[in-house]
Amino acid sequence: VRAAAFASGTGSNFQAIMEAEGLPIEVVLLVCDKPGAGVLEKAERFGVNASVFEPKSYESKSAYEQELIAELNGAGVEWIFLAGYMRIVGPDLLGAFEGRIINIHPSLLPAFPGKDAIGQAYQAGVDTTGVTVHFIDEGIDTGPIIAQEPVAVFPGDTEQQVKERIQQVEHRLYPQVIRQLLKETTYEDKTK
């Protein structure tokens, strides 16, 4: 399955997907909307073509997404994995890849959607937060949940410690979910 990763941060989840063994995907494109993001170096290291978009230079979100769709179609992309892509996916992109865009979010959704979910949970003083992998819909972190895993917050933890604990779970859970999801999809296709 040809896939694209969308990431604009350090790319530790991108790296975890690239290093996971036996995933039924070939990541053929990295889409990044932050020139200079750490994930770009990682893409180069793994030999993945990177497309750096600056959404601000387009007249509308739709124009930006139409260009993205053309590029994704040109590369034969069937699935999209978001991993730290800080932009809301609009109706154009959603429509073109309906049911085939998933995201990882560092909280137990529906708790703490949006930006800085780890900081939000830490400030709220919860004793359990976690990681969610979900399908993308038109909302912010509201799409159907595929998998969740809780992560404990211990008394005296720093926010950094919580973040590291969450990242460890992310790097294991995301490849695991992708493997399972695409196995099921391939199976469905074979029965057609």
| 57 belongs to an annotated ligand binding site | no
Q: Could you tell me if 93 and 79 are in contact, meaning their C-beta atoms sit under 8 angstroms apart?
A: no
Q: Is 170 in the site for ligand GRF (CB under 6 A)?
A: yes
Residue 120: CB atoms within 10 A of its CB come to 17
Quick one: how far is CA 174 from the chain centroid? 9
Judged by beta carbon, residue 76 or residue 150, the one nearer ligand GRF is: 150
| 11 belongs to an annotated ligand binding site | yes
Is 134 annotated as catalytic? no
CA distance linking residue 48 with residue 2, whole number of Å: 12
Q: Is 13 in the site for ligand GRF (CB under 6 A)?
A: yes
Q: Is 134 in the site for ligand GRF (CB under 6 A)?
A: no
Instruction: Please tell me the count of residues contacting ligand GRF according to CB under 6 A.
Output: 14
CA distance linking residue 69 with residue 52, whole number of Å: 14
| 103 belongs to an annotated ligand binding site | yes
| 77 belongs to an annotated ligand binding site | no
Q: Could you tell me if 7 and 39 are in contact, meaning their C-beta atoms sit under 8 angstroms apart?
A: yes
Q: Which of 34, 42, 100, 105 is catalytic?
A: 105
Tell me which DSSP letter residue 127 carries. S
Compute the radius of gyration of the chain from its Cα atoms. Answer: 17
CB 159 to ligand GRF: min, Å: 13
Judged by beta carbon, residue 76 or residue 139, the one nearer ligand GRF is: 139
Amino acid at 41: E
Judged by beta carbon, residue 97 or residue 132, the one nearer ligand GRF is: 132
Q: Interface residues with ligand GRF (CB under 6 A)?
A: 7, 9-14, 39, 83-84, 104-106, 170
Active site residue ranges: 105
